[in-house]
Amino acid sequence: MQACQAEFPLASPGTAARFDLPEFGWGWGGGVVRPKSRGHICLTGPDPTDPVQIEANLLSHPDDLKAAMACVELCREIGNSAALRPFVKREVIPGNLKGAELESFVRDATMSYWHQTCTAKMGQDAMSVVDQTLKVYGVQHLRIADGSIIRG
């Protein structure tokens, strides 16, 4: 898990619409650092300018959901700690949720952040996208040379 403090209110668009977010504030964002959920990226056409279809599959593995829920609880504990009390006017999101309510909040509030890596596996098995020279399997004259080939 990872907890990140930000100098602005943090919320996914859908969650922000449901809560009375102040214009100014600060927040804690929690993250699942080593997710077990796996998504996929698909080409939508043969032209290099065709958009790609991204299916992140966030929280599709039950361990990721458990970790995300624990991270929300950790962020709330830090944000409501005695050391930070002088800087807190009120907790806006999520409040003291438990069980199914917390799970529902996490599923609704989850969004990705930072930079995606490990989306194009290097190797020789059926799940591999590139070989050891970064050539894409099944596509001539195409290599991938960015963070997507880093092994997670």
Q: Catalytic residues, which ones?
A: 115
Task: Please give the structure tokens belonging to residue 37.
Answer: 């959920």
Neighbouring residues of 142: CB distance < 8 A, sequence distance ≥ 6 = 135, 136
Cβ 1 vs Cβ 67: under 8 Å:
yes
Our CA dihedral for 134, 137, 139, 144, rounded to 10 degrees, sits at -30
Neighbouring residues of 115: CB distance < 8 A, sequence distance ≥ 6 = 147
CA distances, 69 to each of 23, 37, 42, 113 (Å):
26, 15, 30, 17
The CA distance from 134 to 7, in Å, is 39
The CA distance from 134 to 81, in Å, is 48
